[in-house]
Amino acid sequence: MATFLCFLCFLLIFTFTPLSHSQPERFTRPLGGARQEYFEVSYPPPSHEPTPSCTHRILHHSFAHTIDSPPYTTPYAPPTRCPAPWSRVVLDFHARCKGEQYDRIAAIWLAGVELLRTSTAEPTAAGIFWNVRKDVTKYSSLFLKPDLDLTMMLENIVNRDFTGIYHVTVTLLFYNQYYVNAPVRVPFVPCPEALNLNPIESKSRSRSLIQEPGFSGVTESPADLIIPISDDGRRGFWFKVEEEKRSCSRKIRIPRNTYRAVLELYVSFHGNDEFWYSNPPNSYITANGLDTERGNGAYREVYVTIDGRIVGSEVPFPVIFSGGINPLFWEPMVAIGAFNLPSYDIDLTPFLGKILDGKDHVFGIGVVKGISYWLVNANLHLWLDHDSTVVHANPVVHYSPETSIERQEEFRGLDGAFDVDAEKETQITGWVITSAGNITTTVSQGFSFKNFIKFQRKGSLKTVKQKFKAKKKVKVIDGRGESITRLKVRRRYPLRVVTNTQQFQDGTYRVVTDVSHSVKEKYVSGCFVKSINNVQNSKGWMEVKGHSVLSGQASTTQNYSYVDRVICYSRNVAAANGIIVTDNSTFVCEL
Ligand SMILES: *[C@@H]1O[C@H](CO)[C@@H](O)[C@H](O)[C@H]1NC(C)=O
Ligand SMILES: *[C@@H]1O[C@H](CO)[C@@H](O)[C@H](O)[C@H]1NC(C)=O
Ligand SMILES: *[C@@H]1O[C@H](CO)[C@@H](O)[C@H](O)[C@H]1NC(C)=O
C-alpha cells in the first residue's frame, strides 16, 4: 500500500512539473479558418509596385515529403525579352498550402549564393497563400549569367498527420527603365541634386517618384562578383551548426583586383535554439531536473572568421516563425521578418590586405553559445577594379576587443531571475590603392545587448525582456582625405514575451501570452536616408495538447512606417482571431 501511495505521489509531482520553463514552444494551429491571403507588412506595398519591363518565372515546384532528400534544383538562364542592364530586379515568391502543417524554413540559392531566406505560414483546411517581394538588385551580376543552378530547400514532412504540401512559384521582375549611367569606377552614386527636395514638395511628389532610381534603397551599384561561403549543396547550401565548437568554413580565392568586399550573412535558428532569447542557463535546468534541452542561457552571437581570426559578428534579429509562441498571433499577418528574414552586411574592405595575395583563404561562420541548430551561410560581394589586375591593400588600424559578456543568475527552485548583458565596440581601417587612387575605408561599429528572464509562481509565469541596439559607420576617403562616401546604420530590436502557463490534469494546458516585438532602423548612405519603424503587439490565450493548439483567441496590432527623402508610408493593421479588423495605410508625411 505504501509503495502504491508513493508511486501515486510521484505521478502527481511528475504530471505537475510546470511546462513554462520550455515556453515559448512551437505548435500547429487548429485546422479551421477561411481560405485567405497571409502577408508580412513591408514597404513598398504590392499595390505600389511599378510594372516591370518583363517577368521571368524561374521556379515552380511542390514541396511534399522532402525531408532527407536533396534540395530542388532547376537550371537558370537570364531573361531573353529584357536583357541587362537593369535598374532594378525584384524577386516575387508565391506559395500556397492546404491542410495541416508546421511552419518550415526555406531558402533559395543561385549558384550557391543565397537570394532569400523565408519561412512558411501554417495552413488551414481551406487553404492559404502568400506573396513575398524582395529587392534583389544587388545580385544582378549573377542574373546576367547563363547556365546556373537555382536551388530551393524546404524540408517538409507529409504523412497521415501532416498533409500540407507547399506549392511554390518564384518569378523575377526586371526593370530596364530609369537606367542611370552606371558608375564605372567608384561604386558609389553621388547625390543627385534633384533629390534635394523640401518636405512640402516631397509630399506632393511622393507617388510619382516611386520609380526613381535610388528608390530601392540601393545607392551603390551591385557587386561585380559574388562568391558563396556555403556548404556543398547536397542538403541545401546552408551550413547546419549543431554546437558551439563547430565552426563551418569554406576555402576561397578572391580576384587580386578586388577593391571592396562586403560579406552578407544569412542566419536562422531552430530546434533547441528557435527561442534562444528565452533559454535559461543550464544550471537552472539541471538544479530543477527539467527535461528540456532549451538551455545555454539567452545570448547568441554569429561570427565570421578569415583564416581563423574573427573579422565581424552579429546578434541576430529574433524572428518568430508562424508556429512560434502562439500560432494564432501570426494570422493573417506573420511576425516581423518571418517571410523575409534579414541578412546582415559585414564590410570586410579593411581586411583586403590579408586576402589579395592570390592564395586560398578560409572563411568560417560560427555561433557563440549556439546549440542545435542554426542554418548559416554567407555571400561575399566583391567589387573589382577593371583598370588594373592587382590592387594593393593594407590594414592600418584594427581595434576589435572580445565581446564583453556579463551574466547574473539567482534562483530558488523554479523561480528566479537571469540577466545577460553584452557589448562590443570595434574600429577597423584599411586602405586600397586602386586605379582611381588611394581609397581608405574605416568601419566603426558597436552594439549593446541586454536580456532578462524571470520565472515566478513556481516557474509558471515567465517574462523575457530583451533589448538590442547597434550602430555602424563606414567612412570612405580618397587620397586627399576627401570623403567619397559615408554610411550610417542604427538598429534597435526590443522584444518582450510574457507567458503564463496553467496545466490541467488531463495533460492539456492553457497558455496566456503577451508579445511585443519591434524594429527601428535608420539608414543613411550619402544622400540616401531611410528609416523604418515597425511595431507588433500580440496577446491571447490558447489551449494546447502536445504540440497542437485545440482552441484559443488572439489579437495582433502592427504599426509600420517607412520614411525616406521623398516617400512617407505608414500602415496600421489589426487582426483578431485570424481576421483583419483594421487596415489603414497612407502616403502622407506627418510633419
Ligand atoms: C593610403 O592612405 C592612407 C591614409 O588614408 C595612408 O596611411 C597610406 O599610407 C596610403 N597608402 C599609400 C601606399 O600611400
Ligand atoms: C498602433 O497605433 C494605434 C493608433 O495610434 C495604437 O492604438 C496602437 O496601440 C498601436 N499599436 C502598436 C503595436 O504600437
Ligand atoms: C481605418 O481606421 C479607422 C479607425 O481609425 C476605421 O474606422 C476604418 O475602418 C479603418 N479603415 C479600414 C479600411 O480598415
Residue-by-residue DSSP string for 562-590: EEESS-EEEEEEEEETTEEEEEEEE----
Task: Determine if ligand 2 sits within 6 Å of the CB of residue 537.
Answer: yes
- Is there an atom of ligand 3 within 6 Å of 583 CB? yes
Ligand 1 atom nearest to 438, measured from its CA: 1
**Are 53 and 175 spatial neighbours (Cβ–Cβ below 8 Å)?**
yes
Q: Which residue's CA is the nearest one to ligand 3's atom 1?
A: 584
Between CA 488 and CA 504 the distance in angstroms is 52
Note the pLDDT of residue 271: 96
CA distance 195 to 352: 34
Residue nearest to atom 8 of ligand 1 (CA): 431
| Range from 195-209, 490-504, 509-523 carrying the lowest mean pLDDT | 195-209
Q: Which long-range contacts (CB under 8 A, 24 or more apart) does 477-481 make?
A: 477/439, 477/440, 478/436, 478/437, 478/438, 478/439, 478/440, 479/437, 479/438, 479/439
Residue 533 in contact with ligand 2 by CB distance below 6 A: no
In the prediction, which pLDDT does 398 show? 84
Q: What is the pLDDT of residues 85-105, one digit of tens each?
A: 998 999 999 999 999 999 999
Question: H helices then E strands: how many in the chain?
Answer: 5, 30
Query: Is pLDDT of 20 > 70?
Result: no
How much is the average pLDDT of 553-577? 95
Sign of CA dihedral 524, 86, 43, 192: positive
Could you identify the atom of ligand 2 that is nearest to the CA of residue 518? 13
The atom number, within ligand 1, closest to the CA of 431 reads 1
Ligand 3 contact, 15 CB (< 6 A)? no
CA of 573 to the centre of ligand 2 (A): 9
- Please report the sign of the dihedral spanned by the C-alpha atoms of residue 122, residue 459, residue 465, residue 303: negative
CATH of domain 8-28+179-586: 2.60.120.230
377 CA → ligand 3 middle, Å:
42
**Can you give the pLDDT at residue 174?**
95
396 Cβ below 6 A of ligand 1: yes
Nearest ligand to the C-alpha of residue 392? 1
pLDDT digits (tens, 9 = 90+) for 403-442: 999 999 999 999 999 999 999 999 999 999 999 899 999 9
In this prediction, residue 42 carries a pLDDT of 95
Q: Is the CB of 397 under 6 A from ligand 1?
A: no
Nearest ligand to residue 580 Cα: 3
For the chain, give the percent of residues with pLDDT over 70: 88
Top mutation candidate among 557, 561, 573 for ligand 2, by most atoms within 8 Å of CB: 557
Instruction: Note the residue count of the chain.
Output: 591
Higher per-residue confidence, 152 vs 547: 152
Q: Mutation test of ligand 1: which of 428, 440, 480 has the most ligand atoms closer than 8 Å to its C-beta? A: 440
User: Each residue of 208-259: pLDDT tens digit?
Assistant: 222 333 333 345 689 999 999 999 999 999 999 999 887 799 999 999 999 9
What is the distance in A from the centroid of ligand 2 to the CA of 73?
Answer: 43
**Model pLDDT, residue 516:** 98
* Closest atom of ligand 2 relative to the 516 alpha carbon: 13
> Model's pTM, two decimal places?
0.91
Q: Which three cell numbers stand for residue 76?
A: 537558370
Q: Report how far ligand 2's centroid is from the alpha carbon of 555 (Å).
A: 13
Ligand 1 atom with the shortest distance to the CA of 433: 13
Q: Flag whether pLDDT at 187 surpasses 90.
A: no
Q: Decide: 440 in ligand 1 pocket, CB within 6 A.
A: yes
Torsion of CA 249, 255, 257, 263, to 10 degrees: -30
pLDDT single digits (tens) 305-325:
999 999 999 999 999 999 999
The protein residue whose alpha carbon is closest to atom 1 in ligand 1 is: 438
- Answer yes or no: is the C-beta of 196 below 6 A from any ligand 3 atom: no
Say how many Å lie between the CA of residue 515 and the centre of ligand 2.
Answer: 14
Q: How far is the CA of 300 from the centre of ligand 3 (A)?
A: 40
234 C-beta neighbours (distance < 10 Å), count: 8
pLDDT at 572: 97
Q: How many angstroms is it from 582 CA to the middle of ligand 2?
A: 11
CA of 581 to the centre of ligand 3 (A): 8
Task: Give the DSSP letter string of 511-530.
Answer: EEEEEEEEEEEEEEETTEEE
Q: Which atom of ligand 1 is nearest to the CA of 396?
A: 7
Which pLDDT value is given to residue 16?
47
Any ligand 3 atom below 6 A from CB of 586: no
Does residue 188's CB lie within 6 angstroms of at least one atom of ligand 1?
A: no
* Residues facing residue 552 across a β-bridge: 542
Tell me the torsion sign for CA atoms 200, 204, 206, 210.
negative
Name the pLDDT band for 510 (thresholds 50, 70, 90): very high
As a whole-number percent, the residues of the chain with pLDDT over 90 amount to 78
- Report which of 468, 500, 155 is spatially closest to residue 326, judged by C-alpha positions: 500
User: What is the domain partition of the chain in residue ranges?
Assistant: 8-28+179-586
Least confidently predicted of 55-59, 185-189, 481-485, 490-494: 185-189
Closest to 17 (Cα-Cα) out of 455, 460, 412: 460
The CB density around residue 338, as the number of other CB atoms within 10 Å, is 22
Q: Is 106 exposed, middle or buried (0-12, 13-18, 19+ CB in 10 A)?
A: buried
Rounded to the nearest integer, the mean pLDDT of the chain is: 89
Cα 167 to ligand 2 centre (Å): 35
DSSP 358: S
The answer to whether the CB of 132 falls within 8 A of the CB of 42 is: no
Determine which residue's CA is closest to atom 8 belonging to ligand 3.
582
Rounded CA-CA distance 507/503 in Å is: 7
Ligand nearest to the CA of 431: 1
425, containing H or E segment: strand 415-434
Task: Assess whether the C-beta atom of 582 lies below 6 angstroms from ligand 3.
Answer: yes
